[in-house]
Amino acid sequence: MQKIIMIKYGELTTKKDNKGLFLTTLKRNVENSLKNLNVEVSYDSGRMFVNPLNDNYDEVLNKLEKVFGIHELNIVYKIENDYEILKKELVDILKEKDFKTFKVSTKRSNKNFEKTSMEVSKELGAVVLKNLDKKEVDVHTPDLTINVEIRMDNFIVYFNKIEGAGGYPVGTLGKGLLMLSGGIDSPVAGYLVSKRGVRLEAIYFESPPHTSLEAKNKVISLAKKLSEYNGNIKLHVINFTNIQESIYKNIPNDYLITIMRRMMYRIGEQIANYNKCKILVNGESIGQVASQTLTSISAINSVITMPVIRPVACFDKLEIIDIANKIDTYKTSILPFEDCCTIFVPTHPVINPDIEKCVEYEKLIDYEELIKDAIKEHEIINVNNNVNEFEDIL
Ligand code: ATP
Ligand code: MG
């Protein structure tokens, strides 16, 4: 008998054509997230198993709970393929457990097994009643549910189910470039898109000396948090100072933010293309600020052709904060360091910007040259989650 962790990955099985890619990616992500923890990962008949060789089940489970593509985790007993041994070992396992009422729930993937699931449940129930004192069957609200799986090569017994992170394994859906500010929304956007299987790189616009090193370190910390879900993240840091100062000097005040964001999108698209990212991802939320009205989003979006995914577009701020707390980015996000969007804030930003005006105003600055320089000199920081070096397969 072996006590190990079993991984279930429900949603994957519906993606038949991609099953091979999904499974190899999931296995690799599981191995990467557990790299320093001395485990053995194996795969047999539709289930993945992790054996924590140092018996550090909780530590391993904590890491696995952040791996997308996993829908359920169980600590299981794997018992050899002999019905009599199953009965004996089940009694041994149950002697250590504190319960009064129980039920047995059996699933049979080995259709050649000589008994039906119902028969096995009944027989094992009788074994428990006979060998252990003062136990009762309760099929509705038992203290303990004894789950038994009859498989081709072994039996599995387990009691508790731990909910997995869900979604698809990171890397199976290609790569995206996350516009990561120090705020609350963009890390949440990054988490949500990771859940859909998207590998992330990130881009951060800084404006030294108007923005500080602390503001940049905050973004690095947020990227690090995200890397617990996404694997190592390549963070592109763009020095935005010249572009921002030029906008500030030459563009009418109410259009500052709109033009600035058009520049961010242009740079984002180029960095994304260069790094084989298929989408941009950001934390825009409809109506949250002047630059996020539908007219604003459309005026800003019109400078690029790459799709922009906005995972929090339809969430209320409080809903976004709930997720930020869940993924532990909120505390970092609310640290009071300035962002480049907040330093040159116009008194009355335009709510319904006119695209033709944007184009006219942009003629006042030599933005193509400025963008070229900013991209040429940009800094790359490899943010790792202290666990692994992530290699791309896509
Ligand atoms: P957040 O809370 O994520 O900062 P926000 O409500 O402050 O969002 P904006 O400042 O309008 O909204 O920014 C909208 C989105 O644009 C951000 O969620 C982020 O994806 C991107 N963004 C803003 N500033 C930066 C920056 N300095 N670097 C990278 N991306 C940025
Ligand atoms: Mg912001």
Q: Which pLDDT score, from 0 to 100, does residue 389 have? A: 40
Reported as a single tens digit per residue, the pLDDT across 199-220 is 999 999 999 999 999 999 999 9
- 195 and 104 both lie in a single domain: no
Domain boundary among 143, 163, 183: 163
Q: Which pLDDT score, from 0 to 100, does residue 342 have? A: 66
- 134 and 203 both lie in a single domain: no
State in Å: Cα 333 to ligand 2 middle: 10
- 158 and 179 both lie in a single domain: no
State in Å: Cα 168 to ligand 2 middle: 28
Q: Is the CB of 186 under 6 A from ligand 1?
A: yes
Residue 393 lies in a domain: no
Q: How many domains, the chain?
A: 2
How far, in Å, CA of 387 to CA of 227, rounded? 10
Judged by its nearest atom, the ligand closest to the C-alpha of residue 292 is 1
Q: Which pLDDT score, from 0 to 100, does residue 14 have? A: 53
Q: Which atom of ligand 1 is nearest to the CA of 282?
A: 20
Q: Is the CB of 339 under 6 A from ligand 1?
A: yes
* Bridge partners for 279 per DSSP: 176
Q: Which pLDDT score, from 0 to 100, does residue 36 have? A: 85
**Burial tier of 110 (Cβ tally within 10 Å: 0-12, 13-18, 19+):** middle
* Residues of the chain under the 70 pLDDT cut: 11-16, 340-343, 386-394
Q: Which atom of ligand 1 is nearest to the CA of 187?
A: 3
- 80 and 206 both lie in a single domain: no
* Strand ranges inside 213-335, DSSP E: 233-239, 279-281, 308-309
- 147 and 191 both lie in a single domain: no
How far, in Å, CA of 49 to CA of 42, rounded? 5
Residue 100 lies in a domain: yes
Residue 170 lies in a domain: no
Residue 169 lies in a domain: no
State in Å: Cα 183 to ligand 2 middle: 5
> Domain with 143 in it: what CATH number?
3.30.2130.30
Domain boundary among 97, 132, 163: 163
Domain that holds residue 151: 2-163
How far, in Å, CA of 61 to CA of 178, rounded? 28
Tell how strand 39-44 and strand 2-8 pair up.
Answer: unpaired
Q: Which atom of ligand 1 is nearest to the CA of 186?
A: 3
Q: Which pLDDT score, from 0 to 100, does residue 221 have? A: 96
- 53 and 119 both lie in a single domain: yes
Q: Is the CB of 311 under 6 A from ligand 1?
A: no
The answer to whether the predicted template modeling score (pTM) of the entire model surpasses 0.75 is yes
Task: Measure Cα distances from 86 to 2, 107, 161, 221 in Å.
Answer: 12, 14, 21, 49
Q: Which pLDDT score, from 0 to 100, does residue 387 have? A: 42
Closest CA to 194 of 169, 223, 160, 224: 169
- 203 and 346 both lie in a single domain: yes
Q: Which pLDDT score, from 0 to 100, does residue 365 have? A: 96
* Bridge partners for 103 per DSSP: 145
Domain boundary among 133, 163, 193: 163
Q: Is the CB of 190 under 6 A from ligand 1?
A: no
> Domain with 360 in it: what CATH number?
3.40.50.620
Closest CA to 159 of 99, 217, 215: 99
Residue 388 lies in a domain: no
How far, in Å, CA of 373 to CA of 295, rounded? 30
Reported as a single tens digit per residue, the pLDDT across 159-195 is 999 999 999 999 999 999 999 999 999 999 999 999 9
Q: Which pLDDT score, from 0 to 100, does residue 343 have? A: 66
